[in-house]
Structure 1
Amino acid sequence: MWAAIAISALAMTVIVAVRYLLSSGLFAYATSRVRPGLYDRLGPQIRSEIGWSLASAAIYGVPAGIVAWGWQARGWTLIYTDIAAYPPWYAPLSVLLCLLAHDCWFYWTHRLMHRPSWFRVAHAVHHASRPPTAWTAMSFHPIEALTGAVVIPALVFLIPIHVAMLGLVLAIMTVMGVTNHMGWEMFPRRLVHSRLGDWLITASHHERHHEEYQCNYGLYFRIWDRICGTDRGLSVKLDRRVAA
């Protein structure tokens, strides 16, 4: 049993690391084509980001591997494979519920990480990326990585979700984590400045967090920032670069 758990944890660690390298590498390449020169002179910072991120991959991979083993070998979790087990409308709802729950967890743990003692010990690693790049998304101190690593494994015990919808949640988490740190806005102005855009977090919104620190703490949605009065809008610098 222990060998199987260890193999599952190792496999998930490799998957998380490869997912990070491929997704961040793809958007870093896109940046070099769309915004040539943006990451010039950031080589040492990017190497540091990759190092911290690969360490984070192990921290994310272990609980994910344990839960994956438990799901397959012991029937743990509420992950299901029969799409007919729930009404058709439930599949997208389960994705939204997971994103809302993750967003809430992230907002409050992120604010905790900005308390002076936590910031000095852990979160300063992430904010050492000045400016953030496509490689920054998983550049965390192990303490901060642990707060992010437990949330999705915990949610699959609380929210029934089809395995394909869980894959979609992980894809959204990966893409938004990378694109929100790229240093330029990939989404068009008509979306960023739309009614929908007013509730979504994109690079233009998250960049302002990296500029000012004490605002814009959310991950996917601006709900908690709006409720708690920590939403300061978009980065002026990035907003000038938004596509028409």
Structure 2
Amino acid sequence: MIATLLLAALGMTAIVAVRYFAVSGAFAALTLRLHPDAGPVAAKRGAQVRREIGWSLVSAAIYGVPAGLAGVAWHDYGLTAIYSGAPSLAGWLYVPLSVLIYLFVHDTYFYWTHRWMHRPRVFAAVHATHHASRPPTAWAAMSFHPWEALSGALLIPALVFVVPIHIGALMLVLTIMTFNGVSNHIGWEIYPPSWVAGAWGRVMITASHHHLHHRHYRCNYGLYFRFWDKVCGTDRGWAAELLPDRDAILTH
């Protein structure tokens, strides 16, 4: 039993680390090719990236433990609410709904824990590790103090015990989580201004939105959606320099 759990935790740690290097590495390469001036100046970029990768590998190990435990609970004991196979028609209709439920619950949890981490004492002890990246790079998405990594690692494994989700939908949730986490930190906007200024940008968080969080700290706390920022009055809009289209900027 203990050996199974240990192997599962090590396996999930390896998966998280490989996923991190693949996605962050791809975005880092795109940044150097398409926007070489984004991110920190060349003189400190190497040291910052090495620090971000180091903390991210620690985070990968922390994320791997609850993920591995949840994987064993599902695969070996059937204790979770994860299911597989072809659903019924009604089941297929639930699949996209389950993705939205997971994303909204995760976003809600992230917003409030993230905002709490900006309390002065918590920030200094924990969250300052992430904000030491000024500005962040594609490698910073998982650059967390271990306590922050632990807080972020628990929710999705906990949800799979209470909210039914198809294994394919769960993989989609994890993919979106990784993509958003990395793309929000790259310092350039991957979406066209028409998207950011339109319905998509009024609802979803993108790099130009999260960029202001790393500049001003007391705003734009969300992960996927602008919902809680707007409800709580912490939404500050976009970083104008990431959206050079003046008409798009004026409509946000």
TM-score range, shorter chain: over 0.9
Q: Aligned-pair distance for 1:83?
A: 2.6
> 190, 196, 206: which is aligned to 1:186?
190
Q: Distance in 2 between matches of 1:38 and 1:227?
A: 31
Amino acid at match of 2:162: L
Q: Does 1:124 align with 2:124?
A: no
For 2:62, what is the secondary structure of its paired residue? helix
Q: Distance in 2 between matches of 1:4 and 1:38?
A: 44
Aligned partner of 2:109 in structure 1 is: 105
Q: Aligned-pair distance for 1:241?
A: 7.7
> 44, 47, 61: which is aligned to 1:44?
47
Q: Provide the alpha-carbon RMSD of the alignment.
A: 1.4
The Cα offsets for residues 187-238 of structure 1, whole Å up to 9 and x where unpaired, read as 1001000022111100000000001000000000000000000001101222
The Cα offsets for residues 140-184 of structure 1, whole Å up to 9 and x where unpaired, read as 000000110001101111211110110000000000000000010
Structure 1 ranges of 4+ moved more than 3 A:
none
Give 5+ residue unaligned stretches, structure 1.
Answer: none
For 1:38, what is the secondary structure of its paired residue? coil
The Cα offsets for residues 13-53 of structure 1, whole Å up to 9 and x where unpaired, read as 00001100110000000111111243433110000000000
Aligned partner of 1:158 in structure 2 is: 162
Q: Aligned-pair distance for 1:240?
A: 2.6
For 1:94, what is the secondary structure of its paired residue? helix
Residues 184 and 241 in structure 1, CA contact (< 8 A), matched pair in contact too: no
Count of residue pairs the alignment pairs up: 243
For 1:75, what is the secondary structure of its paired residue? coil
Aligned partner of 1:149 in structure 2 is: 153
Amino acid at match of 1:16: V
Aligned partner of 1:237 in structure 2 is: 241
> 126, 133, 139: which is aligned to 2:143?
139
Aligned partner of 1:21 in structure 2 is: 21
Residues 83 and 162 in structure 1, CA contact (< 8 A), matched pair in contact too: no
Closer/same/farther in 2, CA of residues 241 and 140 from structure 1, 3 Å limit: farther
Give 5+ residue unaligned stretches, structure 2.
Answer: none
Aligned partner of 2:5 in structure 1 is: 5
Q: Distance in 2 between matches of 1:121 and 1:23?
A: 28
Q: Does 1:197 align with 2:164?
A: no
Residues 193 and 245 in structure 2, CA contact (< 8 A), matched pair in contact too: no
Q: Distance in 2 between matches of 1:241 and 1:102?
A: 32
The Cα offsets for residues 54-103 of structure 1, whole Å up to 9 and x where unpaired, read as 00000000000011011111111100002325522111110010000000
